């Protein structure tokens, strides 16, 4: 998957996308999260129903448990780029009772799903121990015994992305997302 014209290791970041919903009732989970080799791998979700629950603040990439969605505009930007590690598919969109009661007049853009193909292993708070050399990969944290003295024993981000990914998407498209520097060792 690596393009031979670019360096193998790019600057990497942990990215925690804004979350204004969660998986809806029409989501199909084929295989639940799995513990393998001491790491927790994400669930296999062939059909994602993103259910909006709280106010959408304009972010064009949104996260939920085991899923990412993006506006049609960002989907087109990603598809026209040479970024690696994902596919774009359809997503089902629904709205909770809370959202319908409070935000029903909010006009949402059309959304697509970002299916992240590869997984990087993360140990501790921000240390990447294996990276599949793609522009976006999901996170498999190390299953460690709980250490109550460590304020953040697990990573607090959804995916690992390259600087190239951030440059292509643009920070203005994800203003409420959190970007963390990570260490690759």
Flag whether pLDDT at 155 surpasses 90.
no
In this prediction, residue 130 carries a pLDDT of 83
More confident residue, 162 or 67: 162
**CA 102/CA 55 separation, integer angstroms:** 8
Q: If you average pLDDT over residues 24-50, what whole number do you get? A: 82
**CA 162/CA 135 separation, integer angstroms:** 5
Flag whether pLDDT at 150 surpasses 80.
no
Q: If you average pLDDT over residues 160-166, what whole number do you get? A: 94
Do 154 and 33 form a contact (C-beta atoms < 8 A)?
Answer: no
For 79-137, write each residue's pLDDT tens digit: 999 999 999 999 999 999 999 999 999 999 999 999 998 888 887 777 788 889 999 99
For 39-86, write each residue's pLDDT tens digit: 677 778 889 999 999 999 999 999 887 789 999 999 999 999 999 999
Confidence tier at 143 by pLDDT (50, 70, 90): low
In this prediction, residue 56 carries a pLDDT of 93
Flag whether pLDDT at 153 surpasses 80.
no
- Radius of gyration of the chain, Cα coordinates, nearest whole angstrom: 17
Lowest mean pLDDT among 114-118, 149-153, 181-185: 149-153
């Amino acid at each position: 998957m690596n393009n031979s014209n670019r360096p193998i290791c790019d600057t990497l970041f942990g990215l925690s996308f804004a979350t204004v919903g969660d998986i809806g009732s029409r989501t199909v989970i084929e295989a639940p999260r799995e513990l393998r080799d001491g790491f927790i791998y994400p669930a296999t979700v062939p059909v994602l129903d993103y259910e909006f629950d709280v106010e959408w603040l304009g972010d064009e990439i949104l996260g939920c448990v085991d899923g990412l969605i993006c506006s049609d505009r960002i989907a087109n930007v990603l598809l026209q780029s040479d970024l690696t590690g994902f596919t774009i598919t359809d997503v089902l969109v629904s709205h909770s009772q809370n959202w319908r009661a409070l935000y029903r007049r909010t006009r949402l853009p059309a959304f697509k799903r970002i299916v992240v193909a590869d997984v990087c292993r993360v140990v501790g708070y921000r240390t990447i121990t294996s990276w599949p050399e793609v522009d976006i990969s999901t996170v498999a944290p190390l299953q460690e015994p709980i250490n109550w003295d460590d304020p953040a024993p697990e990573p607090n981000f959804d995916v690992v992305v390259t600087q190239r990914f951030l440059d292509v998407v643009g920070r203005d498209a994800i203003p409420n997302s959190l970007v963390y520097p990570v260490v690759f060792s």
